[in-house]
Amino acid sequence: GILVELQEETGAITNGTAYYNAVCQRENFGGTTAIGDGIALPHACNAGVSAPSISALTLRHGVDWGAPDARAVDLLFMIAVPPGNESLHLQILARLVNLLSRNSLVDALR
């Protein structure tokens, strides 16, 4: 919810409830967005999004996100992209995964 609110404040998400529900549905039925090493990338393409954006959150205490390595998630990056921009969505996701493969960056974020 906090990640959605951050993107609503910038105007990138215009219908926070619809977007939140889309992300939850994606998590529940599309599999976890946890990528391991305590990182999750919740995302969805939804009509409640007016512009591509990313919000980030660190957690003091990790939460179970169903990660493949069973590690609790303490770094969250939510990607929001308007419908019809699936290619951009995948580009952002790939770039973020690439950046987060750098241990020095992840350590600095924590």
Phi and psi, residue 78, nearest 5°: -100, 125
The pair of structure tokens assigned to 9 is 């404040």
Portion of the chain with pLDDT greater than 70, in percent: 100
- Would you call 43 a catalytic residue per the annotation? yes
CB neighbours of 52 closer than 8 A, spacing ≥ 6?
12, 79, 80, 81, 82, 85, 88, 89, 92
- What is the SS3 assignment for 106? helix
Domains and CATH numbers, the chain: 2-109 (3.40.930.10)
- Taking 90 as the threshold, does the pLDDT of residue 86 lie above it? no
User: Which pLDDT band holds residue 82 (cuts at 50, 70, 90)?
Assistant: very high
- Residue 45, beta-bridge partner list: 81
Q: What is the pLDDT of residue 44?
A: 85
Please identify which of the residues 12, 22, 41, 43 carries the catalytic annotation: 43
**Please, what is the average pLDDT of the chain?**
94
Q: What is the pLDDT of residue 45?
A: 82
